[in-house]
Amino acid sequence: MKSLKYIALFIMGFALAGQGLAQTNDPLGGKDTLVLENERIEDVISSEKPPLNPPKAKLPKPETEDLRYESKDFQIETDYEPTPPEPMPIELKSEEEALYHNMVKLGIGRFVSPLFQLYLNNGKDYNVDYGLNFTHRSVEQDKLEFRKFREDYGTLNGSIQSDAFKLYGLFHMYNTAYYNYADTATIAQNPDSAKMSFTRVNVKAGIASLDDPDLPYYYDLGLALRNYDGLRGNREFHIDLLPTGGFYITEDFSLDVKAEINLISGKIGSQKLNRSFLGFAPALVYESQGFQAKLGFAWNRFKKKVDSTAFSNLGPNIEASFALFPEELSVIAGVTSGMTNNHYYDMIFENPYLNDTVDIKPTIEKLNIYGGIKGNVGQRIDYTAKVYYKRVQNPLIYFTPVGGAYFAAMYDSLMTVVGVHAEVNYDLSHDLKIGGALNFNNYKTSTVEKNFHAPPLRIDANVEYVWNKKLTLIGNMNVYSQTPVSQFQDGNIFDRSTFVNLSLSADYRVIDRFSVYLRADNILNGNYQRWYNYPERPLVFGGGLTFIF
C-alpha cells in the first residue's frame, strides 16, 4: 500500500510540473465491435458499451498503444464525448484465474518520443479497490516546425465497500502544451505568442448503494469539482452535484430519478462567468425477459447571470426494446430529448485551437426519434441497424474562415438531422474477426451555412487475427466523405476532400508478462485535416514494449 502511495504521488507530481495535450478517446470503448461516437448511449436502454478494463495477465487480446500524433485522432469526428473512460477495479471470474495487476508500456516512433504508460491496481480485494493510470506522450516537430505537443494525464481512483454502502473517489488530471501552428504570422514575429498550454483537474467523491438484488432501492450521490486553467488567462471552475437513485415498485417495475446541479464561475476572455445548469429526469422502468421499456421526461434549465441569457427544455424520454427472438432479433425504438451543458473545459479539450473568447450556450436536443433492430446470427455474427431523426437547437459548430488559425464557437438556431447507422461483426473463427460500420447523416442547418467538420458519410472496417495465442494483428480502415470545413468571404464553401485512413498494428507476446508491439498510422500518407488549416502528419509508425507485473 505504501509503495503504491509513493508511486502515485511521484507520478502526479511529475504531471503537474510538466506541460503536455488532450487525452485520447478510445472509439471502441474497450470493445472489439465498432461503436461510433454519434451513437448516443441513451438510444439503447441496455447499452453494451463497457468501461475501460485493466490489462490481464495472459493478454488474450493484447492491445497496441495508439501512437497518435495530434490532439485528436481520426476516430473523433462528430458528437465528441469529452469524458475519458476511468480505470475500474478488476472482477475475477474464478479463483484460478491468474492475474497480474500492474502494467508498464514504453514506446518510441517517428515523431513520437517517448511514450510512457503506467497502470497499477490492487487486484482481488472486494472491500477496497484502487487503481492508477498515467500516460506521458510527446510528439516532436517535423517539416512544420511548430507541429508538436506534449501531454501528461492520469487518473487515481478507488472505493471502500461496507456491508451497506460504498464510498468512492477519483482524481483526474490532464496537462498539455502545444502550438497553434496555423498562425504563421504570429509565429514569424514571436513563436511563443502562438504557444498554448492548459490543465484540467477533476476531483469526484460520492456514496452509492451496493448492487444487491435484495435491496428495494438504489442510489448514487456524487459531488465533482472541476477546474480549467489556461496559459492565456481563461479559467473555469465547476461544482457538480450528481444525485441519482430509485426504488423497485415490483420485481419488474422501478422508478428511476436522475438529477444534476452544475454551478460554473471563472473568466473567458474579458467576460466573467457565472452560470448555472439544472437537470431532472425521472422515469418508470419496466424490465422483464425479452422486453424493456422506459417512460419518463427530461427537464433542463441553463442560465447566465452576466446577461440573464436563459434556456429551458422539457421533453419526453421514452425508450423500448423488444426481443422478437431471444438472441436473433430485437426491435429498439425511442423518443427522447435533453440538453447538453457546453463548457470551455470540454470545448478546448475537443478543439485546442479555439479563440481566446468564445460564446457558450447549451445544445438542446428538442427531439430524437429513432428505431432499429439488433441481434445475433448464430454465435459468430452480431448486427445493429438504426434510423433516426433529430431536431437540435444550438448545435455547437467550430468555424474559422479560409486562411484562419483560431476557431469560433457557432450555434445554429435549429438543425435537423436524418441519419442511418449500421454495423456488423463476424467472428470467422476463434482467431479471426472482422467488422464494419456505416454512418450517414443529412444535416440541414438554419442560420449557419453548414455543419462544419462533420462528415456526412463515414465507413469503418476492422480485422483482427491472433496466431498461436502470441501474435495479434489488427487492421483498421476509416473512410470520411467530402466534408465542409470553412467558407470563403464570397460565401463559397471550402470542402475537405474524401479521406481514407489505414492503420496496422502487431503485438507479439514473448512471455506471459512481456510483449512487443508495432503500429503504423496514415499508411496511405494522406493529407488529412481534422480541424481546417491544421494538417496532420504523414505516415507515422512506432513501437515499444509492454511489461505486466
Burial class, 13, CB count within 10 angstroms (exposed 0-12 / middle 13-18 / buried 19+): exposed
Is residue 11's pLDDT more than 60?
no
- pTM to 2 decimals? 0.81
- Overall average pLDDT of the 91-115 stretch: 71
CATH of 2-548, picked from 2.40.170.20, 3.40.50.1820, 1.10.287.90, 2.40.30.110, is: 2.40.170.20
The SS3 call for residue 69 is: coil
Q: Which residues contact 545 (CB under 8 A, 6 or more apart)?
A: 105, 106, 107, 514, 515, 516, 517
Cα angle vertex 347, ends 343, 351, to 5°?
Answer: 175
| pLDDT confidence of residue 271 | 87
The x, y and z cell numbers of residue 385, run together, are 441497424
| pLDDT confidence of residue 307 | 84
E strand map for 122-148? 128-139
Is residue 17's pLDDT more than 50?
no
Q: Which residues contact 513 (CB under 8 A, 6 or more apart)?
A: 57, 100, 547, 548, 549
User: 180 with 131: CB under 8 angstroms?
Assistant: no
d(CA 140, CA 145): 9
Question: What number of H helices and E strands is found in the chain?
Answer: 3, 26
Structure-derived torsion over alpha carbons of residues 56, 58, 62, 67, reported in degrees to the nearest 10: 60
| pLDDT confidence of residue 16 | 39
pLDDT > 90 in the chain, percent: 71
User: 207 with 238: CB under 8 angstroms?
Assistant: no
The x, y and z cell numbers of residue 529, run together, are 485535416
Map out the domains of the chain as residue ranges: 2-548
d(CA 504, CA 472): 11
